[in-house]
Amino acid sequence: MTNNRLLDILSYIACKEGPSSPLMIAKHLNIPVSSVYRYLSVLKKNRFIVDAKEKGGYVLGAIALQMANNFSQNNGLLDIAKPEMLRLSVKTKETVALMVPCKLQAICVELVESQHALRCSFSVGKGTPLNKGATAKTLLAFMDKQEALQAIKYNQNSLDDVSVFLAELRSVKKQGFGTSQGEVDEGIWGISAPIINKNRLLGVITTMCPAMRAEGREADLIEATRSCTKSIMEYLTL
């Protein structure tokens, strides 16, 4: 459908680091270049995208700032999750992030940073690929099956063994959370637990810290993170 392609292109530009060219979009989304130019013209006319400094490339327009501001001010999940994230960060003394799936990425929509001088470098709005790490594995394990398979197919070239990865996702779903160490950033340990409401995955809470600080505390960090998501889900049902 035309509308789906338009949204796919906009999502691709939003998720990609740096400008997106028509050829790049056509290749990754399997859309004819002539069609890509037509969709880009519509998006540009409506100010969703603008020309990048790099000739021939496109980036999100200023309307993206309005959308982000509207999201942060009016999203009910953020209002419920933020106090619980603060409690979790105080309890663990580590960085806590609320991550949501967005097409082929996980996007950080809320963050509470650790007060330690040595902490994880992360920021609201940052996206990470759905191919490794506690956040990605937990999102993929609990999201809609077709969405998950699409993301896995997109990232298959970066996976050592797809069958092993799928087995790991089944394990994550069975135990109810995912963990990782050094998969995304060297020396970083993380635990992610899902937020589910009415059988729909809304996102995950991820607690992350230097691996040396997690050593011997893994069980406590897992329990605290799962307790946080449990509280959020209870509030969502009120």
Who's near 17: CB < 8 A, 6+ residues apart? 127
Sign of the CA dihedral running 54, 58, 42, 155: positive
pLDDT confidence band for 40 (50 / 70 / 90): very high
- Over residues 181-203, mean pLDDT: 94
Higher per-residue pLDDT: 232 or 104: 232
For β-strands 188-197 and 178-181, DSSP reports them as antiparallel
Domain spans of the chain?
2-65, 75-236
* Total Cβ atoms within 10 A of residue 211: 15
Is the CATH code 1.20.1530.20 the one for domain 2-65?
A: no
| Alpha carbon distance 139, 133 (integer Å) | 10
**pLDDT greater than 90 at residue 158:** no
Q: Is 183 helix (H, G, I), strand (E, B) or coil?
A: coil
Rounded to 10 degrees, what is the CA torsion of 4, 136, 99, 237?
90
For β-strands 127-129 and 105-112, DSSP reports them as antiparallel
pLDDT the model gives residue 161: 86
pLDDT the model gives residue 1: 46
| Alpha carbon distance 36, 25 (integer Å) | 7
pLDDT the model gives residue 56: 83
pLDDT-wise least confident of 70-74, 179-183, 214-218, 230-234: 70-74
Element (H, E) at 95: strand 95-102
- Over residues 60-86, mean pLDDT: 84
Amino acid at the residue 165: F
pLDDT confidence band for 21 (50 / 70 / 90): very high
β-sheet with 200-210: strand ranges across:
127-129, 105-112, 95-102, 200-210, 188-197, 178-181
pLDDT the model gives residue 67: 77
Rounded to two decimals, what is the model's pTM? 0.81
pLDDT confidence band for 2 (50 / 70 / 90): low
**Mean confidence (pLDDT) of the chain:** 90
pLDDT the model gives residue 5: 87
**pLDDT greater than 70 at residue 18:** yes
pLDDT confidence band for 53 (50 / 70 / 90): confident
| Alpha carbon distance 144, 110 (integer Å) | 23
Architecture label for domain 75-236: 2-Layer Sandwich (3.30)
| Alpha carbon distance 5, 134 (integer Å) | 30
Contact in structure between 162 and 152 (CB atoms under 8 Å):
yes
15, 14, 12: which is closest to 25 by C-alpha? 12
**pLDDT greater than 70 at residue 3:** yes
